[in-house]
Amino acid sequence: MTRSRVQGEDTNGGATAAPEREEAVRGDGDNGVNDIKGGIKGDTGSETESKTEAEAEGDTERAPEGPRPRRRRRVLRWTAVVLAVVLAGTAGAGYLYYEHLNDNIKQDTLNLGDSKVAAPTPNAAGQTPLNILVIGSDARDSKENQQLGGARETFGSTPLADVQMLVHLSADRSNMSVVSMPRDTLLEIPRCTDPEDGEVYPASEGRVMANQSLGHGGPGCAVATWQELTGIHIDHFVMVDFAGVVSMADAVGGVPVCVDANIHSRDASGHGSGLKLAKGTHPVKGEQALQWLRTRYGFEDGSDLARAKAQHMYLNSMVRVLRENATLSSPNKLRRLAEEATAALTVDPGLDSVKKLYDLSDELREVKPERITMTTMPNRYVGARVEPTEDAEQLFRLVREDIALDGRDKKKPDAEPQPPADPAAPDAELAVQVRNGTHTDESGTAPGRASTIAGLLVERGFTKAVADPSVLPSEKRTVIRYPSADLEGDARRVAKALGIPASSVKRSTDVSGVTLVVGADWREGTAYKAPGSDDRTPESAEALNGADDSACMHVNPGFTWS
């Protein structure tokens, strides 16, 4: 009785305050009252029954009425003592179990990088979006993880962030967007400091694979890397390892996935996850669920991009299972899920308790599956690796500006920018560096654009404007960047002089002064015409709707069986 109640209590967020705990205990006590009263009624009932039989046989004598109330009082006093013990025991068990679940949860620092990204501005209702980085670690640091991960040569090695997904919950909580980054993405990892021993991991020399960020001090470096790349403020992270994926899949009773042909993910050299499924839809759990999430060999072209699609399908299905599977109303199921989930997770301090995790899940659960959009960061191949494309920046912008990826947002009025902290300097004293970012895959770089626009600024009184002769990677839209609040007024003044919208003025630690980057939208002429706002999700993001249960992974013919 006590255990059942405690399970229910903890799956509802645990005993977070004394009044709530007392209320939950009273509920348990009520059940205890009924059980105990039932037992007492059974005893007295049998006595009454025998008296009735005696009366039927003609024995109508009864004991005097006087002593009976005294006996009832003794029974009630005994019942009250028993209830007091039951209630005290329940309260203690509930508290101890709640603390046990809290102790299961591991935590780490949220952000190990030096630069920070400002939190988004609240909307008219005072609401802000929520961004959570979900990390799947390939750590072989325990017996369970070694058994599931294989590759003995990697036991005890630096863990890699082989799964990275940014979950964006809109400010009004009406929709959710998920952006996956392929683990093979080439990017720069910023300088990170391990909070435990103070070890400083210098910024990467050039671009390296994204999954290496986890080994630079922990998940907080993966957060810093995402923020540097996307400009998106990240509020929390959640990290899970091999064993955690298996145990959580078991706890929900399996997740349905689909393949369009028989598959066995194993090549002649023994590479592959080992996944073996027949054509069609099957619930996977345990080690098979982990195999599904890790499979590259056998899905489509065998790349990490195909694996990301399979992971999206799995997550979509898990959301539906959690919503639709009535067996999860079972206290035992919920208790097991709570136990396995808390033991599997490493989180930042903002999510370090059952109550905080429950509150977060409650917010996520409010979003209907049809308003969930799964995407993969648009990318192109660089040898065997990939890099973000111009479409990736478009996707990141939509997330930064809290624009739903399913295209079902109501049109939001343009927000009036707040006045800068410091006014602009006189035009003639305002230093501006102009750079050429006009490169596109189709047309290359428009030559001389930095010099042309710097000359235009000089003509308009900005005599300290200079052109940088170097050529930048592509900048889809013209942008003006400034490094600190005291130069915001200067940056806005330059934008106004050239007719560049205030939304294209950005603060950035990548520049040392006011810097105008001429983008691919201004390849010719001296009059800037801002392109129309395109808030569509790029097709290259391969969006998958959360309510789509018809998706099926294509099996590479080289990995099928009959």
The pLDDT tens digits for 470-490 are: 888 888 889 999 999 899 999
Could you report the per-residue pLDDT of 399-418, keeping only the tens digit for each? 999 999 999 987 655 555 67
Q: What is the CA radius of gyration of the chain?
A: 31
Query: What mean pLDDT, rounded, does the chain reach?
Result: 79
Q: Are 392 and 378 in contact (CB under 8 A)?
A: yes
Length of the chain: 562
| Tokens encoding 412 | 């939001």
Could you report the per-residue pLDDT of 340-365, keeping only the tens digit for each? 778 888 999 999 998 898 888 888 88
Q: β-strand 432-436 against 465-471: which pairing, if any?
A: parallel
**487 against 240, higher pLDDT:** 487
| Tokens encoding 484 | 């600190």
Nearest to 213 by CA among 148, 155, 163, 142: 163
**526 against 74, higher pLDDT:** 526
Q: Are 462 and 432 in contact (CB under 8 A)?
A: yes
Distance separating alpha carbons of residues 558 and 269, to the nearest angstrom:
13
Residue 331 burial (CB count, 10 A): 16
Could you report the per-residue pLDDT of 123-175, keeping only the tens digit for each? 888 999 999 999 988 754 445 444 434 444 444 568 888 889 999 999 999 99
Statement: residue 18 has pLDDT above 70 = no
Q: Are 316 and 184 in contact (CB under 8 A)?
A: no
Residue appearing with tokens 């959301």: 319
Nearest to 82 by CA among 27, 42, 33: 33
Q: How confident is the model at residue 230 (pLDDT cuts 50, 70, 90)?
A: very high
The dihedral region occupied by 30, where left means phi > 0, alpha psi between -120 and 50, and beta the remainder, is alpha
Q: Are 421 and 486 in contact (CB under 8 A)?
A: yes
Could you report the per-residue pLDDT of 299-327, keeping only the tens digit for each? 999 988 898 889 888 888 887 877 665 44
Distance separating alpha carbons of residues 115 and 539, to the nearest angstrom:
32
The confidence score (pLDDT) of residue 507 equals 86
- Which are the contacts of 534, defined by CB distance < 8 A and separation ≥ 6? 394
The confidence score (pLDDT) of residue 298 equals 96
Q: Are 168 and 130 in contact (CB under 8 A)?
A: yes
Distance separating alpha carbons of residues 182 and 377, to the nearest angstrom:
8
Question: pTM of the prediction?
Answer: 0.66
Buried b / exposed e across 418-433, counting CB within 10 Å, b at 16+? eebeeebbebeebebb
**503 against 488, higher pLDDT:** 488
**357 against 68, higher pLDDT:** 357
